[in-house]
Structure 1
Amino acid sequence: MTVLALDIGATKFAAGLVHNGLEVPEVRRVDVPPENVWAACRGLLLEVVGDTAITAIGIGSAGPVDVRTGVTAPLNIPEWKSGFAIVAAVQELFPTAAIRFAIDGACLALAEHHVGALRGIPNGLAMTVSSGIGGGIIADGRVVMGRTGNAGHIGHIVVPGWDVPCLCGGVGCVEAVASGMSSVRWAVQQGWQGKTGLQLSEAAQTGDEIALAALHRAGTALGQAIASAAALLDVDICVIGGGFAQSGEPLWKPMQAALDKHARLDFTRELRVIPSRISNGATLVGAGVLAAGAATGEIDPRP
Structure 2
Amino acid sequence: MSILVFDLGGTHLRAGAWVDGRLQAIARLRSDTVRGAGDFMPRLERAVSDLAAQVMQGAAPEAVSMAVPGPVHDGMVERLPSLVGPSYEGGVDFAALARRLWPGAPVSVCNDLTAAGHLYVSRGHPDFGVLTLGSGVGGKLFIDGRPLLGRLGFGGEIGHWRVPGAPPTACDCGGKGHLSGLSSGRGALRLAQWRAAHDPDGFLASALAGPCRGDARALTPEDLVTAFHAGDAWAAASLAESAEHLGAAIAALGLAAGLEVFFLTGGFAVAAGEPFRAQVAAAAETYAWRTGQDWNEGVRLAAADEEPGLLGAGWFARAMA
- Structures share a fold, TM > 0.5? yes
Aligned to 1:110: 118
3-state SS of the aligned residue for 1:289? helix
Q: Paired residue for 1:252, among 277, 286, 309? A: 277
Q: State the shift of 1:89 in Å.
A: 1.1
In structure 2, the residue matched to 1:179 is: 184
Q: Hey, which of these two has a bigger chunk of helix by percent? A: 2
Counterpart of 1:71 in structure 2 is: 77
For the 8 Å contact 2:189–2:221, the answer to whether it is kept is yes
TM-score under structure 1 length normalisation: 0.86
Distance 1:72 1:235, change over 3 A: same
Q: Does 1:167 align with 2:167?
A: no
Structure 1 residue matching 2:139: 3-state secondary structure: strand
Shift of 1:292: 2.3
**1:106, distance to aligned residue in structure 2 (A):** 0.5
1:119-158 to 2 correspondences below 5 Å: 119-158=123-162
Does structure 1 residue 290 correspond to structure 2 residue 316? Answer: yes
**SS of 1:266's equivalent?**
coil
Amino acid at match of 2:133: V
| Partner residue in 1 for 2:64 | 57
Aligned length: 288
**CA offset digits 1:224-244 (Å, max 9, x no partner):** 110111122111211112222
1:111–1:285 CA contact under 8 A, matched in 2: yes
Bigger Cα Rg:
2
| Cα distance in 2, alignment partners of residues 250 and 216 from structure 1 | 10
1:224-270 CA-to-partner distances (Å, cap 9, x unmatched) read: 11011112211121111222213135423432332122101527x35
- Give the TM-score normalised by structure 2: 0.82
**SS of match in other structure, 2:81:** coil
SS at match of 2:103: coil
Number of the residue aligned with 2:301? 275
Structure 1, unmatched stretches of 5+, are 296-303
**Pairwise CA RMSD:** 2.3
**1:230-269 mapped onto 2 (5 Å cutoff):** 230-246=254-270, 247-248=272-273, 250-266=275-291, 269=293
2:48 alignment partner, one of 31, 41, 45: 41
Q: Flag the structure with more relative contact order, 1 or 2, with Cα contacts below 8 A and sequence separation at least 6.
A: 1
Contact 1:62/1:104 (<8 A) preserved? yes
- d(CA) in 2 for partners of 1:282, 1:214: 27
Deviation at 1:167, TM superposition (A): 2.8
Match of 1:4 in 2: 4
